[in-house]
Amino acid sequence: MKLFFALAFIVAACSNSPSENVDFVSSDFEVVQEIPISRQEAPPSDSKLLSPEISQKLVRSGGINFQSEDLEKDFQQIKGMLGRYEAYLENETQNNDQFRKSYNLSIRVPSDRYDSLLNAISGIAFRVENKYSNVDDVTERYYDLQSRIQNKLELEKRYREILYKANEVKDILEIERNLNEVRTDIEMMEGQFNYLSKQIKFSLIQVQFYEELPYELNSDKKKGFWVRIINALDNGWQVFLTVFVGLVTLWPFYIAGAMVFILVMYLRRKNKSHS
């Protein structure tokens, strides 16, 4: 009977907020275990949550756009810097057209070396066009996620303890269903927490640089005189064929025009004969 009441309280606790779940389930589970009140631990006070041990969590990001005199040389220089600053290349894109060629790089670097690497990249630029930095304070989000994960883990622990004592199949199935829901929530929040921790630990630098290409004449214009004459004759013939084919496609209009012309001439002659 105690197990049944404990399960009912836990199911009700799942609908509450994460911070309430742990306290609610904890108090109900004490009924099953019959733990004396003197052995319970008091919840952490607000003063403890705001202790100096909580450090500020910042996400730093930035980038630089610049013109390069030698694109491949600068690219190799940037790659050579990564090892010295314990950074790594997260993404690389290269673009080429007839006017310029360029690189777009996404670099992750330890936060304490962010400024040093960004300044080092600026030093190799031929002409810096844009340079920017951003800082996002994620302290509240970081510790909120951490607290919610801890609460969910405690709730999962309580479920497992009660599952160990369950005898009825109905109770076991109900507890396992709730356990799966809690485990899904934990995995989702842990994924968010790990991604946020990575952003805090490794800052992001977006590097975009390009090299202008010299203008080149069309290869056809570099050919000899007679070759150009032959090309011109061929182009003229192709134009003539295109126009001729276009005129042929208008044949329905020619027939309609001829019929209108014949009708007009017939009417004019008929009018003259009457006059």
Residue 203 and residue 250 in one domain: no
Question: Residue 6 domain-assigned?
Answer: no
Residue 117 and residue 243 in one domain: no
Residue 148 and residue 88 in one domain: yes
- Going 29 to 31 to 32 to 38, the CA torsion angle's sign is positive
Question: Residue 31 domain-assigned?
Answer: no
Residue 121 and residue 144 in one domain: yes
For residue range 66-121, list pLDDT tens digits in order. Answer: 999 999 999 999 999 999 999 999 999 999 988 899 999 999 999 999 999 999 99
Question: Residue 20 domain-assigned?
Answer: no
Residue 210 and residue 232 in one domain: no
CA distance 250 to 254: 7
Residue 85 and residue 149 in one domain: yes
Residue 209 and residue 82 in one domain: yes
pLDDT band at residue 265 under the 50/70/90 scheme? confident
Neighbours of 12 (CB within 10 A): 13
pLDDT band at residue 48 under the 50/70/90 scheme? very low
Residue 72 and residue 191 in one domain: yes
Residue 139 and residue 65 in one domain: yes
The reported pTM is 0.57
Range of the domain at 256: 228-274
Q: According to the model, what pLDDT value does residue 275 have?
A: 63
If one counts the domains in the chain, the total is 2
CA distance 177 to 179: 5
Task: Give Cα separations from 152 to 23, 119, 182, 183, 186 (angstroms).
Answer: 11, 43, 7, 8, 6
Answer with the one of 193, 216, 239 that is the final residue of a domain.
216
Residue 103: strand, helix, or coil: strand
* Radius of gyration (C-alpha) of the chain in whole angstroms: 39
Residue 61 and residue 170 in one domain: yes
Question: Residue 37 domain-assigned?
Answer: no
Residue 196 and residue 267 in one domain: no
Residue 54, H or E segment: none
Residue 234 and residue 180 in one domain: no
Q: According to the model, what pLDDT value does residue 106 have?
A: 97
Q: According to the model, what pLDDT value does residue 22 have?
A: 40
